[in-house]
Amino acid sequence: MTKIDIENLIYFIRDLVNEEFEDKMPPTINQPADYLLHGGCYELARILQHYFKGTQLYINNEFDHCLVEKDGILYDAEVDEKGQLIKKNPSEYKKANALDIHYMEENFGIEYKYINGRRFSNYLIDEIEKCNIKQYIEDDSRKDEER
């Protein structure tokens, strides 16, 4: 099987969220994966940081959206009309500090932060693990850990 990079993992997570939460999101959210952009961006970031250890958390200048930086590229779950991930403008974001992270912990994803008493990101990590794909995730920082 081909190695899974960060972009492919985001696509996988979007599909998983759409499948798992098809009937569980409010009508204001077009498709469940949109939650990853509207409140659940921090939960997505937690998942990506779980699998890609060398990533950094960034927050936008309005303090209402976060994403993950890996190898100088900013990633979140936003896609264009063709379903391709949209590249972000780095000048609109700053590296998150401890206060920013605390703010995100307290204020992002309030409505769906917990699923059946479990943190949304932890729930999804468990679901990802059931798919047995961890061995295929391509994370250069893990190679350094193994040496």
Higher pLDDT, 90 or 140: 90
pLDDT value for 146: 44
Please check the confidence at residue 93 and state whether its pLDDT lies above 50.
yes
147 forms bridges with which residues in the sheet?
none
Residue 1 confidence class, pLDDT cut points 50, 70, 90: low
115/31 Cα distance (integer angstroms): 17
How confident is the model over 76-89, as a mean pLDDT?
92
Q: Return the percentage of the chain with pLDDT > 70, whole number.
A: 94
Residues 14-62 pLDDT 10s: 999 999 888 877 777 778 888 898 889 999 999 999 999 989 999 999 9
pLDDT value for 138: 76
Please check the confidence at residue 101 and state whether its pLDDT lies above 50.
yes
Residue with tokens 């769906």: 112
How confident is the model over 123-147, as a mean pLDDT?
75
110/61 Cα distance (integer angstroms): 20
